[in-house]
Amino acid sequence: MGTNKNTILGWATLIMILMGLLLIGLGAFRYRDVSGWGFAAVGVGFLANAWVFSSLKGRL
C-alpha cells in the first residue's frame, strides 16, 4: 500500500468511532437488560481507543 501511517490511523480511528457508537446504540436501544451494559462498555472502549489513535496520529 502506498498510504502513510497517518492515513491508516485516520481510517482506523474513523472505523473505531463508528463501531463504538454502533455498540453503544445497540446496548441502549436493542438490549435493555444486563447485556446492554456490556455492549455499551465495549462501545466506550472503542471510543477510548479511537481517541488514543487520534492523539498518536501526529507522533508516529
Instruction: Give pLDDT tens digits for 32-49.
Output: 677 777 878 888 888 888
pLDDT category at 3 given cuts 50, 70, 90 is: low
The secondary structure of residue 29, as a DSSP letter, is I
Neighbours of 60 (CB within 10 A): 10
With residues binned 3-state (H G I as helix, E B as strand, rest as coil), the percentages for the chain, rounded to 5, are 80, 0, 20
